[in-house]
């Protein structure tokens, strides 16, 4: 049976391409129809029509507001009979709002797996992303073979919202690493060190990381076409602050990266790749 997929942004397109290459038939829905009219997939007329045709539907959307719209809109997912249906939500959701999605889908007889993706376009195309899932364990076990077609590392955390919290914590590392690498790059250039050589040395020294490996060429070429946008990391770091506030805990190292990416968004660079924060330091 075909797999449904909702949300064909940068990451969503990469994952649907991967699913197709792994032999899955994919039917898609996107709120902006113009963005998918040239893609080689059958296009459903609505989320309801999509889930009526597919037993399993992925969602890969920008935020919880978008997920709520897909669920609750006219002819949305919740307007369908969800018995024996599974929603695998790859979105990075707000850790509180995602609980509502669990309840809403489960109350309609369906199953909801909160499954945020760790990784961006390049690893997604190769099936190398990490996926952390929360929900019913038996549903996770049934879906794991499908998840393994798009992810290399798959983790299960039973408690609803724990996967979303883990994704936000991970993105504190991501945003902090990127900001530090960007500042190091600009500082090295100010010292008249060749940028490519500087990044090569950082890559075997203190800067060695998945972030540097993924973004070295973007920094050299100053090609900031989005794999993971400033808007997205900014949103995630704001959600992380909400999480820390709810726990009555300070966040020391998260504050500066959040404001750096807020500045990029304010400067009209929200849709650029988050490696473009380098421009602030340069």
For 45, residues 6+ apart whose C-beta sits below 8 A from its C-beta are: 29, 75
CA distance 216 to 95: 31
Q: Catalytic annotation on 167?
A: yes
Closest CA to 48 of 84, 12, 80, 22: 80
3 state DSSP class of 268: coil
Q: Which residues of the chain form beta strands (DSSP E)?
A: 3-6, 26-29, 42-43, 56-59, 86-89, 111-114, 117-118, 129-133, 151-156
In the Cβ-directed half-sphere of 133, how many Cα atoms lie within 13 Å? Answer: 27
Question: CB atoms < 10 A from the CB of 43, how many?
Answer: 15
Catalytic residue among 167, 215, 258, 269, which? Answer: 167
Whether the Cβ atoms of residue 226 and residue 247 lie closer than 8 Å to each other: no
Q: Which residues are catalytic?
A: 167
């Amino acid at each position: 049976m075909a797999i449904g997929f909702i949300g064909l942004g940068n990451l969503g397109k990469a994952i649907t391409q991967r699913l197709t290459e792994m032999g899955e038939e994919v039917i898609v829905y996107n709120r902006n129809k113009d963005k998918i009219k040239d893609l080689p997939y059958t296009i459903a007329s609505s989320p309801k029509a999509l889930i009526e045709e597919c037993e399993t539907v992925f969602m890969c959307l920008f935020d919880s507001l978008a997920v709520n719209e897909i669920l609750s809109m006219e002819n949305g997912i919740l307007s369908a009979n969800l018995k024996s249906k599974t929603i695998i939500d790859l979105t990075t959701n707000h850790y509180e709002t995602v609980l509502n999605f669990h309840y809403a889908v489960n109350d309609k007889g369906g199953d909801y797996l909160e499954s945020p993706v760790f990784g961006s376009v390049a690893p997604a195309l190769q099936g190398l992303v990490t996926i952390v899932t929360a929900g019913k364990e038996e549903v996770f076990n049934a879906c794991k073979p499908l998840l393994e077609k798009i992810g290399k590392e798959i983790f299960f955390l039973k408690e609803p919202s724990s996967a979303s919290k883990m994704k936000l914590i991970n993105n504190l590392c991501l945003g902090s690493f990127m900001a530090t690498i960007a500042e190091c790059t600009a500082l090295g250039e100010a010292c008249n060190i060749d940028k490519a050589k500087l990044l090569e040395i950082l890559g075997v020294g203190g800067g060695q990381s998945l972030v540097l490996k993924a973004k070295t060429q973007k920094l050299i070429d100053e090609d900031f076409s989005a794999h993971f946008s400033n808007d997205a990391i900014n949103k995630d770091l704001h959600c992380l602050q909400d999480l820390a506030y709810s726990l009555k805990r300070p966040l020391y190292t998260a504050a500066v990266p959040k404001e750096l990416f807020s500045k990029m968004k304010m400067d009209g660079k929200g849709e650029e790749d988050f490696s473009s924060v380098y421009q602030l330091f340069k």
